[in-house]
């Protein structure tokens, strides 16, 4: 890791700790639009495999649920065009009624890459359904603003990749081969910076 990379990680960790230290340690779970329920929009700015937007709820300060849509719009690199989209939902349990939670994540994603050369278009598509454990934190301020961090691994319940035309070789064929090698058994789902607002 470069010295610059180490500095960025340290600064990010300091920011997270500083924000977390200012979060409300406890809230009245009867507050909000619905008694014992806090619900609101959220956005994952720093996340893998992609940024995401969604909605999150916290019930009785003990259980949380969320639904997110992540996407990377069609982007071109040299002669390759690729796009990515993902739906994911999670259920969280806050065992100490604080920021820390354990839970489970389920979702589906699709990755498409294509290349046009000599009048022929070669395309590979990868789609998978995932399920796996999740841990993380949601630091909620008295105003309703919250900051989050979560780590999950999605095991592949279903995995399928296609190549069109099937006998194609070259860059797109290599992309399919690498996807099959690294994604067939699962994928990390990391939300390193969630921002949101509970009403």
pLDDT tens-digit map of 119-138: 788 999 999 999 999 999 99
Distances (CA, A) of 31 to 35, 60, 66, 162: 6, 10, 19, 50
Domain span at residue 47 reads: 3-197
Q: With beta carbons less than 8 A apart as the criterion, state whether 43 and 55 touch.
A: no
Q: How many domains does the chain have?
A: 1
Q: What is the mean pLDDT of residues 78-84?
A: 88
pLDDT value of position 27: 47
Q: Is the confidence at residue 65, as pLDDT, over 90?
A: yes
pLDDT number for residue 141 = 93
Mean pLDDT of 11-39: 60
Confidence of residue 24 (pLDDT cuts 50, 70, 90): very low
Higher-confidence position of 100 and 33: 100
Distance between CA 13 and CA 6 in Å, rounded?
11
Lowest mean pLDDT among 74-78, 109-113, 170-174, 184-188: 74-78
Choose among 94, 95, 49, 83: nearest CA to 68. Answer: 49
Q: How far is CA 87 from the centre of its chain?
A: 9
Say how far residue 14 (Cα) sits from the centre of its chain: 22
Here the CATH number for the domain that contains residue 39 is: 2.40.160
Q: How confident is the model at residue 170 (pLDDT cuts 50, 70, 90)?
A: confident
Average pLDDT over residues 144-158: 96
Mean pLDDT for 104-129 is 92
DSSP structure string for the chain: --HHHHHHHHHHHHHHHHHHHTS-S---TT-SSBTTEEEEEEEEEEEES--EEEEEEEETTTEEEEEEEEEEEEEEETTEEEEEEEEEEEEEE-TTSSSEEEEEEEEEEEEEEEEEETTEEEEEEEEEEEEEEEEEEEEE-TTSEEEEEEEEEEEEEEEEEEEESTT--SHHHHHHHHHHHHHTTEEEEEEEEEEEE--
Is residue 97 within 8 Å of 125, Cβ to Cβ?
no
In percent, the amount of the chain with pLDDT more than 90 equals: 66
pLDDT at 20 over 80: no
9 pLDDT higher than 50: yes
Per-residue model confidence as pLDDT tens digits over 52-62: 999 999 999 89
pLDDT at 188: 96
């Amino acid at each position: 890791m470069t010295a610059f990379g180490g500095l960025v990680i340290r600064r990010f960790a300091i920011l997270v700790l500083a924000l977390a230290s200012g979060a409300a340690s406890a809230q009245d779970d009867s507050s909000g639009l619905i008694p014992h329920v806090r619900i609101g929009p959220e956005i994952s700015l720093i996340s893998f495999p992609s940024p995401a937007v969604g909605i999150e709820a916290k019930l009785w300060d003990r259980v949380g649920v969320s639904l997110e849509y992540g996407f990377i719009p069609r982007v071109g690199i040299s002669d390759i065009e690729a796009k990515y989209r993902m739906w994911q939902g999670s259920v969280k349990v806050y065992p100490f009624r604080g920021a820390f939670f354990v839970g489970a994540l389920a979702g589906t994603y699709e990755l498409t890459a294509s290349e046009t050369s000599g009048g022929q278009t070669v395309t590979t598509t990868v789609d998978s359904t995932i399920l796996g454990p999740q841990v993380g934190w949601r630091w909620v301020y008295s105003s309703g603003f919250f900051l989050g961090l979560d780590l999950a691994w999605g095991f592949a319940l279903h995995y399928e990749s296609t190549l069109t035309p099937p006998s194609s070789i070259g860059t797109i064929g290599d992309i399919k081969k690498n996807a099959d090698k690294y994604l067939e058994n699962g994928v990390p789902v990391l939300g390193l910076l969630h921002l949101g607002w509970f009403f």
